[in-house]
Amino acid sequence: MVYLDFEKPVVELEQKLEEFRKQAIARSLDLTNSIQTVQREIENRLEEIYSNLTPYQTVQVARHVMRPKVQDHVRFMTPDYIMLHGDRYFADDHAMWASVGSLDGRTVFIIGHNRGSNVKENIRGNFGMASPEGYRKAMRVMELADKFHAPVITLLDTPGAYPGIGAEERGQAEAIASNIRDMFGIKVPIVTVVIGEGGSGGALGIGVGDRVLMMKYAMYSVISPEGCASILFRDGTRFRETAQMLKLTAPDLKRLGLIDEVIDEPVGGAHRSPVEAMTFVKEAVKRNISELLEVKGPITDYRYNKYKNLPPKMD
Amino acid sequence: MPEDNVQKCKGCNRPLDMPAFEANMRICPKCGSHEQVPVRERIKMTVDEGSFKELWGHLVSKDLIGFADSKPYADRITETIDKTGENDAIVTGDALIHGTKVAIGFMNFGFIGGSMGVVVGEKIMRLAEHALKEKVPMIIFAQSGGARMQESVFSLMQLARMSGAIYRFQEHGGLYISVICNPCTGGASASFAFQGDLIISEPGALIGFAGPRVIEQTIKQKLPPGFQTAEFLQEKGFLDKVVDRKNMRWMLGKVLSLYRGIPMEVI
Ligand SMILES: [Zn+2]
């Protein structure tokens, strides 16, 4: 387990638990009671810590290296998936995942920021920072979904679109602008889930869903708290304050009316119980797809009206 | 007058003779640098005299999330309105250009760096809906540092709201001309500025998704000269044309005259 700074109180307990387990095996002792006591204690401490997370601590959880990533959700939701590659113009951007598969019998297309779970994957996926060809691949696959009459699921997990020379030369702004606009023309339901870090335009570039769901400890923001601090305060170390001000947590965004649903996470976060967390996501996605398939009239009208009517209402 | 108070050209750093400079549409007479133009001046130099009728000018931003940096955002809005006499970072309305009716928007860089929050989003969304209803071409002068951080995800969502309205307008055959002025980065670039059927720009304008400083920090090297300029983008295939300010009105009128007579699909 990779521990976050505020999880310190649990570290010792988990070491103790591990020690009990080893002894129980090594010396054939029955330590069931001690083990259960420690387990309860761990659960209580986690409950306590996680029900009082500060916004910046939420950001840390959202970025946790062991948190389920796009490919974990894809394998879990659509075990028979086929990966789809390339934008047909320039390259295959590994930072952008695209696949088709069946979600409990229903064909779905999944698109997501592929930030990876280890250093090798992180580098290959450019930490989930997509280039223009990634956004163009995403749009190509959404149009393919349209042809299949199959719903689209987009999974958001990126610090932002890649700010590099090649990305600018190949039209990063144009690629994202086109996606955000042309998603309004996709004639199948789109369910968007922020599973980790929802980083600004780079996230929204695949994020114009009919429903926007957020995992409980995910974040969604117009700018990273660090970036915001260095611009507004000229002091990048004041990210705890800006994380607080940006209202980037799922419960805050739900309260503000900017997202549709908060998907619960197990005690201690998705990185502790990934299967349970991915089950919650899968069930929420399935329910939302079913609801969207019942929508009367063109889904594109539904989508436009959803965004048009976002708060605040202006006279 | 002390040296510091003399306004200098950002292009060549030479002092500007203000009356001559202003008479020259704020183009430096020495180096040709297209300096920034206050929004009302821009309207005047673009549309037929007296034809501009402002729409939705009353819309004002509110502090939606209790944001405060060096000062509370609510105070920043009030102070900027008092100082600039404008209500937000875009002015929208109806106008004529060479006699053709257009729905037109001008971003106002003087208002919190032309940052884009709910008011900009709402006005561009309404402008696109209005242009669709009136069956007139739409023109937007983009000039913006990006999304307004002080409105957080509310401002991010404006990218979607504006883009949805522009999608519907274009889908029904509407002509949208995007004019990009210096500078244009972040959320404005990643939405309406690059959604034009025609995209034109003023010479030398800085245009990109990421700002040059962010890129330099990421790649840990200096950017080549001319990177992310209008001319660079034209060369890379992302702009139809770089147009001098003095020719801009003529160019818009010319395009509109060529477009006239093509009916928009009836809805
Ligand atoms: Zn000059």
| A87-146: pLDDT as tens digits | 999 999 999 999 999 999 999 999 999 999 999 999 999 999 999 999 999 999 999 999
A262 and A145 within one domain: yes
Span B139-149, mean pLDDT?
97
Reduce the DSSP state of residue A104 to 3 states and report it: coil
Share of chain A above pLDDT 90, in %: 93
B241 and B176 within one domain: yes
| Chain A nearest C-alpha distance from B49 (Å) | 30
B65 and B31 within one domain: no
A284 and A139 within one domain: yes
A134 and A22 within one domain: no
C-alpha distances (whole Å) from B260 to each of A147, A281, B49, B102, B253 are 35, 51, 21, 11, 10
B42 and B30 within one domain: no
Tens-digit pLDDT profile for residues B206-240: 999 999 999 999 899 999 999 999 999 999 999 99
pLDDT of A273 strictly over 60: yes
Reduce the DSSP state of residue A3 to 3 states and report it: coil
A208 and A97 within one domain: yes
| Chain B nearest C-alpha distance from A272 (Å) | 28
pLDDT of B263 strictly over 70: no
The answer to whether residue A315 sits within a structural domain is no
Residue A30, domain extent: 5-52
DSSP state of B72: B
Whether the Cβ atoms of residue A117 and residue A65 lie closer than 8 Å to each other = yes
A131 and A20 within one domain: no
B136 and B27 within one domain: no
The interaxial angle of helices A32-50 and A8-26, nearest 10 deg, is 160
A85 and A44 within one domain: no
A40 and A188 within one domain: no
Q: Do A205 and B155 make contact, defined as CB atoms within 8 angstroms?
A: no
Q: Which pLDDT value is given to residue B52?
A: 98
B79 and B31 within one domain: no
Q: Which of A161, A177, A231 sits opposite B149 (nearest CB)?
A: A231
d(CA B203, CA B209): 18
The answer to whether residue A314 sits within a structural domain is no
B187 and B67 within one domain: yes
Q: Do A180 and B67 make contact, defined as CB atoms within 8 angstroms?
A: no
Q: Given pLDDT bands bounded at 50, 70 and 90, which one contains residue B45?
A: very high
Q: What are phi and psi for residue B210, nearest 5 degrees?
A: -90, 145
CATH number of domain containing A240: 3.90.226.10
ipTM of the complex: 0.96
B63 and B135 within one domain: yes
Residue of A nearest to B120 (CA): A314
Q: Given pLDDT bands bounded at 50, 70 and 90, which one contains residue A272?
A: very high
B127 and B10 within one domain: no
Tens-digit pLDDT profile for residues A80-90: 999 999 999 99
Span A287-292, mean pLDDT?
98
B41 and B26 within one domain: no
Tens-digit pLDDT profile for residues B104-115: 999 999 999 999
B89 and B27 within one domain: no
Task: Count CB atoms within 10 A of the CB of residue B165.
Answer: 27
Helices (H), chain A: 8-26, 32-50, 55-62, 70-77, 119-124, 132-148, 165-169, 172-182, 200-204, 225-232, 239-245, 250-255, 274-293, 299-308
A131 and A233 within one domain: yes
The answer to whether residue B171 sits within a structural domain is yes
Share of chain B above pLDDT 90, in %: 92
Whether the Cβ atoms of residue B139 and residue B252 lie closer than 8 Å to each other = yes
B116 and B18 within one domain: no
The answer to whether residue B206 sits within a structural domain is yes
Closest CA to A159 of A111, A125, A206, A197: A197
| Cis peptide bond upstream of A312, omega within 30 | yes
Q: Which of A174, A201, A245 sits opposite B67 (nearest CB)?
A: A245
d(CA A279, CA A273): 10
pLDDT of B199 strictly over 70: yes
d(CA A307, CA A293): 18
The answer to whether residue A252 sits within a structural domain is yes
Ligand 1 centroid distance, CA of B18 (Å)? 12
Q: Do B237 and A222 make contact, defined as CB atoms within 8 angstroms?
A: no
pLDDT of B171 strictly over 70: yes
A63 and A46 within one domain: no
Least reliable range by pLDDT among A6-20, B21-35, B53-67, B122-136: A6-20
Q: Which pLDDT value is given to residue B1?
A: 46
pLDDT of A251 strictly over 70: yes
Look up the pTM and report it: 0.96
Burial A258-297 (b: 16+ CB within 10 A, else e): bbbbbbebbbbbbbbbbeebbebbbebbbebbeebeeeee
A102 and A19 within one domain: no
Count: domains in chain A: 2
A253 and A213 within one domain: yes
Residue B20, domain extent: 6-35
The answer to whether residue A222 sits within a structural domain is yes
The answer to whether residue A313 sits within a structural domain is no
Question: What are the helix and strand counts (H, E) for chain A?
Answer: 14, 8
Q: Which pLDDT value is given to residue A29?
A: 83
Q: Which pLDDT value is given to residue B4?
A: 60
Q: Do A184 and B167 make contact, defined as CB atoms within 8 angstroms?
A: yes
Tens-digit pLDDT profile for residues B237-250: 999 999 999 999 99
Whether the Cβ atoms of residue B155 and residue A222 lie closer than 8 Å to each other = yes
Task: Count CB atoms within 10 A of the CB of residue A33.
Answer: 9
B15 and B145 within one domain: no
Least reliable range by pLDDT among A184-188, B68-72, B176-180: B68-72
